[in-house]
Amino acid sequence: MLTRLLLACAVGASVLLSAACNSGDRSEPQPTPATSPTSAAVEPSAAAEGDAVAAYRGMWDAFVEAGKVSDPDAPVLRRYASHQALRLIVTALHTNRQQKEVILGELVIDPKVTALTPAGDPTKATILDCVNDEKWLEHKASGGLVNDEPGGRHRTTATVDRTAEGWRVSSFILEEAGTC
């Protein structure tokens, strides 16, 4: 169901993530802070990973909310998505609005960051997910399902970029149902 909608929108588009502290008493060695060279390199990556996943989850949450009323102008969409990802979602919602359809139910995601670049201070993350829309289906705005096509589980790869405004999903590829 979701794939049909987003794939229809994507036709022709390129689719595509120190020193020791001293209290003045020098008789006992003080513990070193947790910013050793190893942890200093991990800290920006861990923060980037968390922020990228939060943006990805935020995008889907915003899509679910906007889908309930087919609102392509929902400002929260732009907080989490940009470029191709935003175009796909906005186009899908606009199409649903024109066809007097809404998307209702529960969408299940379980994103995992598979790459962060550059390593020292990541500005891009790649996320792999299996988007489950089995219970997130298109309905007529007047009530009832649009059709009897079940949703499914879709392998999804997303790119999330750090921008001046924060982390945003810039693109994603949602494959056919049954791909994960």
- d(Cα 58, Cα 52) in Å, to the nearest integer? 10
At residue 76, the pLDDT reads 96
159, part of any domain: yes
**Structure tokens that stand for 83 in this block:** 């470029």
- d(Cα 124, Cα 149) in Å, to the nearest integer? 35
- Please list the pLDDT of the chain residue by residue as tens digits (180 residues): 554 555 444 433 333 322 233 333 333 333 333 333 444 444 888 999 999 999 999 999 999 999 999 999 999 999 999 999 999 999 999 999 999 999 999 999 999 999 999 988 999 999 999 999 999 999 999 999 999 888 899 999 999 999 999 999 999 999 999 999
At residue 2, the pLDDT reads 57
> Helix, strand or coil for residue 110?
coil
145, part of any domain: yes
Burial class (CB in 10 A: 0-12, 13-18, 19+), 37: exposed
6, part of any domain: yes
CATH at 64: 3.10.450.50
81, part of any domain: yes
22, part of any domain: no
32, part of any domain: no
At residue 150, the pLDDT reads 84
90, part of any domain: yes
- d(Cα 52, Cα 124) in Å, to the nearest integer? 8
Cβ(100)–Cβ(143) below 8 Å: no
Interacting residues of 153 by C-beta distance below 8 A, sequence separation 6+:
130, 131, 132, 134, 177, 178, 179, 180
Work out how many domains the chain is built from and give that number: 1
Question: Residue 117 is inside which H or E element, if any?
Answer: strand 112-117
- Tell me the HSE value of 19 on the side-chain side, using a 13 A CA sphere: 3
155, part of any domain: yes
Quote the domain boundaries for residue 74.
2-10+39-177
At residue 43, the pLDDT reads 81
